[in-house]
Structure 1
Amino acid sequence: MAEKNFTLVTEFLLIAFTDCPERALPLFLLFLFIYLTTLWGNLGMIILIRVDLRLHTPMYFLLSHLSFMDICYSSVTVPQMMAVLLEHGVALSYTRCVTQFFLFTFFGSIDCYLLALMAYDRYLAVCRPLLYVTIMTQKARLGFVGGAYVAGVFSALVRTVSAFTLSFCGTNEIDFIFCDLPPLLKLTCGDSYTQEVVIIVFAIFVIPACMVVILVSYLLIILAILRIPSVGGRAKTFSTCASHLTSVSLFFGTLIFMYLRDKSGQSTEEDRVVSVFYTAVIPMLNPLIYSLRNKEVKEALKKALNRARLS
């Protein structure tokens, strides 16, 4: 069999929105607003959790790490999006693209694991309240979060190696805003079956595995809530889970739509919108969700604002 000639790709050209230069400035300002809101919102959440003793609980310990991950997650992609818009296209070296892809996957994977851990935490708090303090000790919390970070490194390595052992040929132009999997797959040629299988298996074991933990936890929580005799008691108990459930629905809903849907009929424009939503919009929304729908956070925020006003 004759050998196929593949073009050696040394850089990738991000050319998203170059066909509509009139959109560049409005979109740049929009992404800048989203990014600054994400930074200040999540940083504020971390500071609030550290300074208010009422928030020194396992749930808020996990939430502080989720906020930190959202800052990192957004910082890997959103500045790149703004650069693409401002410069009407950006050339990324192969190494920079690999690094961005690895970090993006690393922080995104940890987000998945942390959301699953938070669901388990809610299950213990509602269904096993007497064992909650003995199980969710400081040592256990550090172990859970450390395990999430280690699993994130492993997930990112597997996905990055699988993606960048593909053969890229033809054009190196990516009609996208950062180095993500769907646009990279469009540049491949030759036999990529093995790598795509590994990537799909990764998606099946990471996203659905975390979702199984979340779904089982909430199924048991719902059963426990239904056994509470008073309507007020049921509403109060469920309110402690509402913020997390909203965040989970947004994050996993967009990931499933992006990575586990049928590839036929996909459009680049649709992919861009979805990727912006889960890389930029959701990290911005998380601190708003947890502050607006959580009584303890709202009280801590009012206390901090009053203290700042008096000082």
Structure 2
Amino acid sequence: MRPALPDILIQPVVTAALAEDLGRAGDVTAAACIPEDARLKAVFAARADGVMAGGACVRLAITALDPQATISVRVPEGEAFSAGDTLISVEGQARAILAAERTALNLLGRLCGIATQTRAYVQAVEGTGARIADTRKTTPGLRALEKHAVACGGGLNHRFGLDDAILIKDNHVAVCGGVGEAVRRARVHAGHLMKVEVEVDGLDQLDAALAEGPDVIMLDNFSLTDLSEAVARAGQRVTLEASGGVTLETVRAIAETGVNVISVGALTHSVPNLDIGLDAV
């Protein structure tokens, strides 16, 4: 079971989403059709197999409109579920639950989709020793939630932002005048707790990077042959991360070259929402 994110990180996202949906006049459909004192029992039910992530989003969305609502999360974060399973049960003011429904489903479906996709990648590389990691290619404003969903699926979180690790990319190298010089400058600047990673796009740059002793080297869009050669040259002196165009169809072969980490932007930038619905009971 994955530990939940603190509510303080989730609440602003939920509040902004509710405000966007409720607009200037609130849920005029519910106000027109549903008696003010009507109650509703309902369940958030899976329409497809998946992995749970985002239960707190549902709880916070509904209790923002009905603080007395009862919410029971049936499937813990990081646990697999099957189509037809009840993920969350709710009971409270009908108007409030219906007004929060779309916000809750949007967030729950998105996060379960990410966790489910991540689990598929993790299972694809089982037994190789390689780990699956996310990237910063996240939905603006949702990074903490989406990276939590990756962790629920069994993946690693890459850096959260520009401030928690040094990652020297190709444009940094171009400005510095070379891979070696960029790593040397980074080493001088970095504190004792900050790791230094450098991206290389060929074996010649790999050799230059290895000479300067970074903590991690990102092998960007390497062929399988060159990935294997990079693993041989590095000789376990440094963590090697493969990146670029990774898919479920290619990830196993990449892992079998011996790299330590495979970063996959598709875990967050293009994953489909998992199909989940709210059903009255």
TM-score > 0.5 by shorter chain: no
Bigger Rg, structure 1 or 2: 2
Q: Which has the higher helix share?
A: 1
TM-score, structure 1 normalization: 0.22
Higher RCO (C-alpha under 8 Å, 6+ residues apart): 1
TM-score, structure 2 normalization: 0.24
Q: Which has the higher strand share?
A: 2
